[in-house]
Amino acid sequence: DAEITQSPRHKITETGRQVTLACHQTWNHNNMFWYRQDLGHGLRLIHYSYGVQDTNKGEVSDGYSVSRSNTEDLPLTLESAASSQTSVYFCATSRGHTGELFFGEGSRLTVL
């Protein structure tokens, strides 16, 4: 079955370190998204991509970057982790004609 895989599922890091969260999908969907989920804020869009070599900033993109070198992967990088980036991160893809989102299992990041 097609799926979305996120790794690591849990990570603890220190302030100032670089962290990369991986997202791999086998849906062959062009659209991919990264969201963060925090209590009281719902899900907020960090970055998104409509296809290979395409990346765009979402509403909370400061301190994050993404790259899209193939259809399957959209890694999310925190260049210098901050405590404010402690959150649960979800990767998602969308089916083009309906726009329905399919989510990965999430990555819980703690920045100490």
Partner 1 sequence: ELKVEQNPLFLSMQEGKNYTIYCNYSTTSDRLYWYRQDPGKSLESLFVLLSNGAVKQEGRLMASLDTKARLSTLHITAAVHDLSATYFCAVDITGTYKYIFGTGTRLKVLA
**Interacting residues with partner 1 (CB under 8 A):** 31, 33, 35, 40-45, 48, 50, 58-59, 90, 94, 98-106
Output the smallest distance, CB 40 to partner 1, in A: 7
Length of the chain: 112
Q: Which amino acid is at 34?
A: W
In the structure encoding, which two tokens stand for residue 101, read together? 């989102």
Output the smallest distance, CB 70 to partner 1, in A: 19
Output the smallest distance, CB 107 to partner 1, in A: 11
46 versus 78: smaller Cβ distance to partner 1: 46
Output the smallest distance, CB 48 to partner 1, in A: 7
For 21, phi and psi rounded to 5 degrees? -105, 130
The residue behind tokens 């703690």 is: 110
What Rg, from alpha-carbon coordinates, does the chain have? 13
28 versus 42: smaller Cβ distance to partner 1: 42
9 versus 17: smaller Cβ distance to partner 1: 9
In the structure encoding, which two tokens stand for residue 4, read together? 């979305």
Measure Cα distances from 37 to 5, 25, 45, 72 in Å. Answer: 17, 20, 9, 23
75 versus 106: smaller Cβ distance to partner 1: 106
